[in-house]
């Protein structure tokens, strides 16, 4: 029999244990993300992937907010996060700390995610606005752009879906 696990069987960490757990050096920046549901979903994904920190930049909404909480389901309490008005400042900070800066965006030189080899290195991943994407000046600051291959007509994914794909791919390849 293939029985569904009960919540108490999932071996979930407490928020205190999660916060003290060693994280991979992965930092996420949301650059001017409009949707509160996307913000909450990215919080939840950052918790699931145990990222080091989440930055909310520009017009990106920040907790506490009911609509963020609806999709984050408590991850705003477990994930280390910070709001920054000017996203470029945090990108520069992490660039100077030796992090590889990766914009998730379709550019003339973007790398196909399926062909990109993640390395065990400090990484900042930037996701942009739902309509306009990552700002060009931030793309200019990035070490590279990565895009998720798509086979349909839209050639865009919801930011929360993109974050899930990118972060899962990175974590699975890091081991």
- 3-state SS record for 100-118: EEEEECCCCCCEEHHHCCC
Handedness of CA 112, 93, 45, 65 (dihedral sign): negative
Look at the block and give the residue holding tokens 């999709």.
71
Tokens 């990035």 identify what position? Answer: 142
| CA pair distance 1, 162, nearest whole angstrom | 34
3-class state of residue 40 by DSSP: helix
pLDDT, tens only, 126-148: 999 999 999 999 999 999 999 99
In CATH terms, 17-174 corresponds, of 1.10.260.40, 3.40.50.10790, 3.40.350.10, 3.40.1280.10, to: 3.40.1280.10
pLDDT in tens, 22-41: 898 999 999 999 999 999 99
The pLDDT of residue 127: 98
Contact 73, 103 (CB under 8 A): no
pTM for this structure? 0.95
Please determine, for residue 154, whether its predicted confidence score (pLDDT) is greater than 90: no
Complete DSSP assignment for 119-159: -SS-EEEEE-BTTTBS-HHHHHHSSEEEE----SSS----H
Question: Any idea where the domains of the chain sit in the sequence?
Answer: 17-174
**Over residues 78-102, mean pLDDT:** 97
Beta strand 51-57 pairing with 24-31: parallel
Determine the pLDDT at residue 134.
Answer: 97
The residues, any chain, with a CB within 8 Å of residue 159's CB and separated by 6 or more, are 30, 33, 35, 38, 42, 127, 128, 130
- Report the chain's terminal Cα–Cα distance, integer Å: 30
């Amino acid at each position: 029999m293939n029985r569904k696990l009960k919540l108490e069987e999932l071996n979930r960490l407490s928020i205190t244990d999660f916060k003290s757990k060693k994280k991979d050096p992965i930092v996420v920046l949301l650059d001017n993300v409009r949707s509160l549901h996307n913000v909450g979903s990215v919080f939840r994904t950052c918790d699931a992937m145990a990222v080091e920190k989440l930055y909310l930049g520009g017009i990106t909404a920040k907790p506490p907010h009911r609509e963020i909480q609806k999709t984050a389901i408590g991850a705003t309490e477990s994930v280390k996060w910070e709001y920054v008005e000017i996203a470029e400042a945090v990108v520069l900070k992490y660039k100077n700390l030796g992090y590889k800066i990766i914009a998730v965006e379709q550019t003339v030189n973007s790398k196909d995610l399926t062909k990109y080899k993640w390395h065990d290195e400090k990484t900042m991943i930037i996701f942009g606005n739902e309509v306009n994407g990552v700002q060009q000046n931030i793309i200019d600051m990035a070490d590279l752009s990565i895009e998720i291959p798509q086979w349909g007509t839209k050639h865009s994914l919801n930011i929360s879906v993109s974050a899930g794909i990118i972060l899962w791919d990175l974590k699975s390849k890091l081991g």
